[in-house]
C-alpha cells in the first residue's frame, strides 16, 4: 500500500499561557489517501477546526502551541518545516475553504484579484494569463458569467456564490489536498447540496484529496469514504463511512446518530445526549465521555480507553466495544 498523502500522528495542540495551558487537540491520529475523502465529525469545540488549522499550520502561536506529534504531508513533517517552505505549500499543494463565505473574502478587492494574488504567489504567470486562469477557475466552480463576475467585489455576490469563489481560490494551484472546514454550515440547505456536489465533481476531475470538517452527519454520509469522530479533543471512533453508519461502536457516535431527526419515525422530542462536553481545562483521569455515557463504569472514569481496532479499519476508543445490537 502506498504511503498516505497526509498522515496526522498523535497530534497535540495546546492553548493558553503560563499555568493555564490546556490541550484543544490531544493525541489525534488519522490518514488521508490520495484522492480520498476523509470526514471529521464532532460537535462545536471538539477540536476539529483546530486540527484543520494545524495541518495548514495556521494556529496562531501564541496563544496556541504545537505540543507534540507530527503532521506528515507527502513524507515531510509540516510541524518541522521552515516557514518559507510551509508558505509554498499553503495555497499551493494544500488549499483551504472556510466556514464563513460572507467574511472569508477581503471586501476591498475584487474576486478576480484575490484569485490572481494566489496564482501569482505560487507561479510566475503573467497578469494576463493569471486573469484568464481566474476566469477559468470561476467557470470551473460554475459561477454564472465568470468573465463579468471576475471584476465583482465580494459584497456583490450571494453567500453560495462567495463560497464558490472560495473553492476556486482554494483550487487555484491544483492542490493535492483540499481542507474544507464546515464549508456548507453557513449556507442554506439547497445551496449546501449544490456546493457538496460541486466539491465531489471537482474531486472526480482533479483527483484532489479532501479533508472535510463538519458537524453534519448527513454531509458525511453523502461525501466521505472514511470518518473520524472527535470528542473533546480526541478521536473516539474511526471507520469507513458504511461501517460507521451501519455499526457505530462508540456510545458517543451512537448518540450522535440518534440525535439526527428522521423523517420516517414520528417523535415528539429529538433525542439528545445528556450533559455537555467537559471544558478542555478540566483534567479527567478516564474517558472524556464518561460523564455523559450510559455505559460508563468505574474503569471508564479512571482509565482512558485507548483507540483499538475491533475490525479491519474500524477503531474505537471505548472499554465496552464491541457493543452488540447498538441501534443507529
Nearest-CA neighbor of 87 among 50, 56, 115?
A: 56
How many residues make up the chain in this entry?
Answer: 328
Q: Which of 91, 251, 255, 280 binds another protein (CB under 8 A)?
A: 91
Establish whether the linkage from the previous residue to 62 is cis, with ω within 30° of 0: yes
Q: Which of residues 105-124 bind another protein (CB under 8 A)?
A: 105-108, 117-118, 121-122
Count of residues that interact with another protein, criterion CB under 8 A: 28
DSSP E strand stretches across 221-313: 226-231, 234-240, 308-311
Angle of helix 111-122 versus helix 159-171 axis, rounded to 10: 10
124 to each of 119, 128, 173, 222, how far by Cα in Å? Answer: 8, 11, 12, 38
62 versus 279: smaller Cβ distance to another protein: 62
- Measure the CA–CA gap between 243 and 221, rounded to whole angstroms: 11
92 binds another protein (CB under 8 A): yes
CB of 223 to another protein, least distance (A): 21
- Measure the CA–CA gap between 231 and 253, rounded to whole angstroms: 9
Q: Helix, strand, coil proportions of the chain in percent (round to 5)?
A: 35, 25, 45
CB of 161 to another protein, least distance (A): 16
Are the C-beta atoms of residues 21 and 66 closer than 8 Å to each other? no
- Measure the CA–CA gap between 190 and 143, rounded to whole angstroms: 16
How many CB atoms are located within 10 Å of the residue 238 CB?
25
Q: Which of residues 43-62 bind another protein (CB under 8 A)?
A: 56, 58
Q: Which region, judged by CB under 8 A, interacts with another protein, from 67-75, 103-111, 199-207, 241-249?
A: 103-111
85 binds another protein (CB under 8 A): no
225 binds another protein (CB under 8 A): no
Q: Which of 6, 38, 166, 187 binds another protein (CB under 8 A)?
A: 166
From residue 142 to residue 161, the character string flagging contacts with another protein as x (rule: CB under 8 A) and all else as - is -----------x-xx-----
Coil, helix or strand at residue 62: coil
Q: Which of 9, 43, 100, 247 binds another protein (CB under 8 A)?
A: 100
228 binds another protein (CB under 8 A): no
Q: Which of 29, 76, 104, 194 binds another protein (CB under 8 A)?
A: 104
From residue 230 to residue 269, the character string flagging contacts with another protein as x (rule: CB under 8 A) and all else as - is ----------------------------------------
In the chain, what's the furthest Cα-to-Cα distance?
A: 67
Q: Which of 8, 38, 96, 211 binds another protein (CB under 8 A)?
A: 96
Q: Which spans of this chain sit near another protein (rule: CB under 8 A)?
A: 56, 58, 87-92, 95-96, 98, 100, 103-108, 117-118, 121-122, 153, 155-156, 166, 169-170
Amino acid at each position: 500500500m502506498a504511503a498516505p498523502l497526509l498522515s496526522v500522528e498523535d497530534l497535540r495542540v495546546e492553548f493558553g499561557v503560563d499555568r493555564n495551558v490546556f490541550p484543544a487537540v490531544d493525541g489525534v491520529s488519522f490518514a488521508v489517501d490520495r484522492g480520498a475523502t476523509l470526514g471529521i465529525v464532532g460537535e462545536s469545540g471538539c477540536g476539529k477546526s483546530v486540527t484543520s488549522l494545524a495541518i495548514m499550520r495556521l494556529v496562531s502561536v501564541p496563544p496556541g502551541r504545537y505540543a507534540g506529534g507530527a503532521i506528515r504531508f507527502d513524507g515531510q513533517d509540516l510541524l518541522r518545516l521552515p516557514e518559507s517552505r510551509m508558505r509554498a505549500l499553503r495555497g499551493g499543494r494544500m488549499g483551504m475553504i472556510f466556514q464563513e463565505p460572507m467574511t472569508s473574502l477581503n471586501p476591498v478587492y475584487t474576486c478576480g484579484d484575490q484569485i490572481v494574488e494566489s496564482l501569482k504567489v505560487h507561479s510566475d504567470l503573467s497578469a494576463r494569463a493569471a486573469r484568464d486562469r481566474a476566469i477559468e477557475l470561476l467557470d470551473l466552480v460554475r459561477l454564472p458569467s465568470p468573465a463579468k463576475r471576475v471584476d465583482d467585489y465580494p459584497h456583490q455576490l450571494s453567500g453560495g456564490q462567495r463560497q464558490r469563489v472560495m473553492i476556486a481560490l482554494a483550487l487555484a494551484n491544483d492542490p493535492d489536498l483540499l481542507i474544507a472546514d464546515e464549508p456548507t454550515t453557513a449556507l442554506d440547505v439547497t445551496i449546501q447540496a449544490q456546493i457538496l456536489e460541486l466539491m465531489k465533481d471537482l474531486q472526480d476531475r482533479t483527483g484532489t484529496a479532501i479533508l472535510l470538517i463538519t458537524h453534519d452527519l448527513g454531509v458525511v454520509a453523502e461525501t466521505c469514504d472514511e470518518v473520524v469522530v472527535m470528542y473533546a479533543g480526541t478521536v473516539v471512533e474511526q471507520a469507513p463511512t458504511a461501517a460507521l453508519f451501519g455499526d457505530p461502536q462508540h456510545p458517543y457516535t451512537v448518540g450522535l446518530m440518534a440525535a439526527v431527526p428522521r423523517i420516517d419515525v414520528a417523535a415528539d422530542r429529538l433525542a439528545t445526549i445528556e450533559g455537555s462536553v467537559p471544558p478542555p481545562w478540566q483534567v479527567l483521569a478516564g474517558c472524556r465521555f464518561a460523564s455523559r455515557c450510559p455505559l460508563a463504569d468505574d474503569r471508564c472514569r479512571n482509565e482512558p480507553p485507548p483507540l483499538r481496532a475491533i475490525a479491519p479499519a474500524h477503531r474505537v476508543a471505548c472499554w465496552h466495544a464491541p457493543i452488540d445490537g447498538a441501534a443507529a
